[in-house]
């Protein structure tokens, strides 16, 4: 039957850790066993050699070997047997220089030739080894036996049973296995603890499930049209998707850096860093109106989501303008009705000359009002905006006029940005004052906008605060939030490399000044203009 590999991370990690622990312990046992066996063999051979040296050093043993015959009851056998019992050796063999035994554990073998080669010992060498003899395999040592004059008269061979060596080795292995088993048990418990912790952290998922979830997360994060920024507990960016990079103007190297490092100071940075609390917070970043939400995570970090509300905010402002125009049209409807009634009365009374004069005066008043804006502001969008705002101002009873210094050519690079700035400034002024003056002028390729009013003005301590997102003294309408107009004005000015500020007006009120560098196209030179005219005339011919 085929063994199935478990799917869960917990079980896989536990099995792998147990296999690794078992393998390491078995390797350690093997590495310990090999030198231990060799050491025990060497120890036994040296013990046998030491007993042989001690036996050969016995006084009178060489004389007894040369003066008595080999016999089971002879003095050589008696001396060798005494030493054997005292040392626990398997055998002690005393032989003459011909290799004939004078002593042996089995007395019947006394007088016979030894079973192993005695040549090394009889030649004067000390020999160690593990050999097989008449009593089986043993660790043995052989030394020469010399008389009082140093002459070799025989040799002494001592053997220690190899089974005793193996017994000592096995007893050592049993102890080692006991410790190895204890180590394996501890390792298994540790592996189980680690695996259980991993199971809790992975919620019992399998590796395949984790991989699939990661792929799905990547596809989801980079596919949705909502910005997502994940932060760690230290405020560093862990993850930022493509939409968040676009909305915040971040580069691909933003991950791993702090929010304050990659974003300019402002409300957006404060919201992402958690310094501003609340839900659906409105911020402005790079001229875009964003709705931000920040949700803390269990590890001390947070996930922030960003939704682009720029188009919705623009639609809201257009709706405000439409409402204002409707109000202005209603007022003008009443006004035109009154004028028509007046005209009808003059005609019924037969005062035709007076009726014609009345119509000419009304037409001239409307024409001069529109021409006043179009002559000084050549861009049609800006001129139309001022005409519309003048109608709204008239309905509210507010005086809206343009400054005598106003003169703006029609080479505006992006009229929509200028319309946004001018519309916000005029709307704020109409809400706060009874008299508003607008100045639009060009300084090279720079547009300077100045809107002054006779309202209550702005205290010096609040002149920077009014440009922050969310700050407003007016109640928010139902369809959108307040506190974004001036923040959007400053962001657009900064995007152009300019500035937006507010100062006090002489006699009371406020003056808002916005400078937009490079907002106008460079004027044509005389030579370029002439070349263009010549080319045009050539085509007409």
Mean pLDDT of 409-433: 83
The three-state secondary structure class of 512 is strand
Secondary structure class of 223 (helix, strand, coil): helix
The number of CA neighbours under 13 Å toward the Cβ of 455 is 22
- Residues 21-36 have a mean pLDDT of 70
- C-alpha 244/C-alpha 307 separation (Å) is 9
Residue 66 belongs to domain spanning: 9-169
445 pLDDT band, cuts 50/70/90, is confident
Residue 527 inside a domain? The answer is no
The string of pLDDT tens digits covering residues 234-283 is 888 888 888 888 888 888 788 888 888 888 777 778 888 888 777 777 67
On whether both 372 and 472 belong to a single domain, the answer is yes
- Grade residue 525 by pLDDT with cuts at 50, 70 and 90: very low
What CATH number does residue 390 fall under? 3.30.565.10
- Lookup result for tokens 């188009």: 311
User: Model confidence over 191-212: pLDDT tens digits?
Assistant: 777 767 766 666 666 555 666 6
CA distance 71 to 474: 132
Question: What's the pLDDT tens digit per position in 120-140?
Answer: 888 889 998 877 776 777 888
pLDDT number for residue 36 = 63
Q: Which two tokens stand for residue 175?
A: 């102890």
Domain boundary among 263, 292, 308: 308
Residues 121 and 163 in one domain: yes
pLDDT at 481: 45
Confidence grade of residue 453 (pLDDT, cut at 50, 70, 90): very high
pTM of the model: 0.44
**Token pair for 441:** 């002028």
Residue 423 maps to a domain: yes
CB 208 within 8 A of CB 6: no
Six-digit token string for 182: 């204890």
Q: Cβ(56)–Cβ(50) under 8 Å?
A: no
pLDDT score, position 109: 87
Contact criterion met (CB below 8 Å) for 145 and 56: yes
In a domain, 412, yes or no: yes
In this structure, are residues 249 and 438 in contact, taking their beta carbons and an 8 Å threshold? no
236 and 348 belong to one structural domain? no
| CATH at residue 40 | 3.30.450.20
SS3 at position 405: coil
Contact 230, 301 (CB under 8 A): yes
What is the per-residue pLDDT for 108?
Answer: 85
Which of 308, 332, 354 is the last residue before a domain boundary?
308
Answer yes or no: do 34 and 160 share one domain: yes
Q: Is residue 154 part of a domain?
A: yes
CB 195 within 8 A of CB 6: no
pLDDT at 478: 44
Comparing C-alpha atoms, which of 515, 512, 510 is closest to residue 499?
515
Residue 527: is its pLDDT beyond 90?
Answer: no
Q: Do 376 and 504 share a domain, yes or no?
A: yes
Tokens of 216: 């799905």
Q: Are residues 71 and 47 in the same domain?
A: yes
How many CA atoms lie within 13 Å of 164's alpha carbon, on the beta-carbon side?
A: 16
Can you tell me the distance from the alpha carbon of 144 to that of 193, in angstroms, rounded to the nearest whole number?
A: 65
CA distance 126 to 124: 7
Please check whether residue 202 lies inside any domain of the structure: no
Which pLDDT score is estimated for 163? 62
Backbone angles phi, psi at 382, to 5 degrees: -65, -40
More confident residue, 220 or 19: 19
Contact 387, 372 (CB under 8 A): no
Pull the structure tokens for residue 206.
């399998």
Whether residue 338 contacts residue 332, with contact meaning beta carbons closer than 8 Å, is answered with no
SS3 32: helix
User: Does residue 193 lie in a domain region?
Assistant: no
Domain match, 30 and 147 both: yes
Percent of the chain with pLDDT over 70: 71
Residues 6 or more apart whose Cβ sits within 8 Å of residue 316: 477, 479, 480
pLDDT single digits (tens) 146-187 = 888 889 999 999 988 766 555 666 666 666 667 767 777 777
Q: Of 309-323, 341-355, 448-462, which one has max mean pLDDT?
A: 448-462
pLDDT category, 513, cuts 50, 70, 90? Answer: very high
Instruction: Specify whether 35 is located in the same domain as 154.
Output: yes
Whether 388 and 287 map to the same domain: the answer is: no
State the pairing for strand pair 435-443/399-402: parallel
Judged by DSSP in three states, 9 sits in: helix
| C-beta contacts of 251-258 below 8 A and 24+ residues apart | 258/234
Structure tokens at 108: 């019947």
Given 308, 327, 342, which residue is the final one in a domain? Answer: 308
pLDDT tens, residue by residue, 267-324: 778 888 888 777 777 677 766 778 888 888 888 888 888 888 766 656 655 665 566 5
Over range 466-472, report the average pLDDT.
Answer: 70
Rounded CA Rg of the chain: 54
Judgement on whether residues 148 and 236 belong to the same structural domain of the protein: no
Is the pLDDT higher at 227 or at 170?
227
Whether residue 130 sits in one domain with residue 32: yes
The fraction of the chain above a pLDDT of 90, given in percent, is 6
Distance CA 524, CA 515 (A): 22
The 10 Å CB-count burial string (b at 16+, else e) for 313-347 is: beebbeebbeebbeebeeebeeeeeeeeeebeebe
Q: Over the stretch 367-411, which tens digit does the pLDDT of each residue have?
A: 556 666 777 888 887 887 887 788 778 778 888 888 888 888 767
Task: Assign 540 a pLDDT band (cuts: 50, 70, 90).
Answer: very low
Q: Max alpha carbon distance in the chain (Å)?
A: 183
CA 33 to chain centre: 48
Tell me: do 357 and 485 sit in the same domain. yes
Q: Do 422 and 385 meet the contact criterion of CB atoms below 8 Å apart?
A: yes
Position 525 in a domain: no
Do the Cβ atoms of 529 and 538 come closer than 8 Å?
no
CB atoms within 10 A of CB 402: 19
Q: Give the model's pLDDT for residue 532.
A: 41
Using a 10 angstrom Cβ sphere, with 0-12 exposed, 13-18 middle and 19 or more buried, the burial of residue 361 is exposed
Which residues have a Cβ under 8 Å from the Cβ of 519 and sit 6 or more positions away? 412, 413, 414, 417, 418, 445, 446, 447, 496
Which secondary structure element, helix H or strand E, spans residue 535, and what is its range? helix 526-540
Total domains in the chain come to 3
Residue 420 contacts residue 496 (beta carbons within 8 Å): no
Task: For residue 521, tell me if it sits in a domain.
Answer: no
């Amino acid at each position: 039957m085929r063994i199935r590999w478990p799917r869960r991370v917990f079980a896989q990690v536990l099995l792998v850790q147990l296999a690794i622990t078992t393998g390491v312990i078995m390797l350690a046992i093997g590495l310990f066993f090999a030198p231990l066996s060799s050491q025990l063999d060497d120890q036994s051979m040296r013990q046998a050699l030491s007993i042989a040296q001690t036996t050969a050093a016995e006084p009178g043993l060489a004389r007894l070997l040369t003066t008595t015959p080999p016999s089971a009851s002879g003095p050589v056998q008696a001396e060798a047997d005494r030493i054997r019992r005292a040392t626990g050796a398997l055998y002690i063999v005393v032989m003459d220089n011909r290799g004939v035994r004078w002593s042996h554990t089995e007395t019947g073998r006394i007088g016979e030739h030894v079973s192993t080669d005695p040549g090394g010992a009889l030649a004067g060498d000390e020999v160690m080894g593990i050999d097989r003899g008449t009593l089986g395999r043993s660790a043995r040592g052989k030394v020469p036996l010399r008389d009082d004059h140093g002459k070799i008269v025989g040799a002494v061979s001592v053997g220690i049973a190899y089974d005793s060596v193996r017994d000592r080795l096995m007893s050592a292995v049993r102890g080692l296995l006991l410790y190895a088993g204890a180590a394996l048990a501890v390792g298994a418990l540790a592996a189980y603890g680690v695996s259980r912790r991993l199971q809790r952290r992975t919620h019992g998922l399998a590796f395949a499930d984790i991989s699939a979830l990661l792929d799905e997360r990547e596809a989801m994060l980079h596919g949705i049209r909502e910005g997502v920024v994940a932060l760690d507990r230290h405020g560093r960016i862990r993850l930022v998707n493509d939409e968040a990079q676009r909305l915040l103007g971040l580069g691909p190297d933003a991950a791993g850096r702090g929010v304050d490092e990659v974003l300019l100071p402002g409300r957006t940075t404060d919201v992402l860093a958690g310094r501003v609390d609340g839900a659906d917070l409105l911020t402005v970043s790079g001229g875009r109106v964003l709705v931000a939400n920040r949700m803390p995570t269990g590890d001390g970090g947070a996930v922030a989501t960003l939704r682009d509300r720029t188009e919705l905010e623009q639609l809201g402002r257009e709706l405000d303008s439409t409402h204002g125009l409707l109000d202005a049209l209603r007022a003008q409807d009443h006004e035109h009705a009154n004028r028509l009634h007046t005209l009808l009365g003059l005609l019924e009374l037969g005062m035709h000359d007076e009726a014609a004069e009345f119509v000419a005066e009304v037409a001239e008043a409307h024409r001069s009002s529109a021409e006043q804006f179009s002559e000084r502001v050549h861009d049609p969008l800006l001129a139309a905006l001022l005409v519309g705002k003048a109608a709204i101002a008239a309905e509210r009873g507010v005086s809206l006029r343009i400054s005598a210094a106003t003169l703006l050519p029609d080479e505006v690079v992006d009229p929509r940005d200028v319309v946004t700035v001018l519309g916000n400034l005029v709307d704020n002024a109409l809400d706060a004052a009874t008299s508003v003056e607008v100045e639009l002028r060009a300084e090279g390729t720079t547009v300077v906008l100045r809107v002054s009013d006779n309202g209550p003005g702005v205290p010096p301590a609040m002149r920077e605060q009014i440009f922050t997102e969310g700050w407003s003294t007016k109640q928010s309408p139902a369809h959108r939030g307040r506190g974004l107009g001036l923040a959007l004005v400053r962001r657009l000015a900064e995007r152009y490399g300019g500035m937006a500020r507010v100062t006090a007006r002489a006699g009371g009120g406020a003056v808002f000044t916005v400078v937009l560098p490079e907002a106008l196209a460079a004027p044509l030179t005389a030579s370029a203009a002439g070349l263009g005219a010549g080319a045009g005339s050539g085509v007409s011919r």
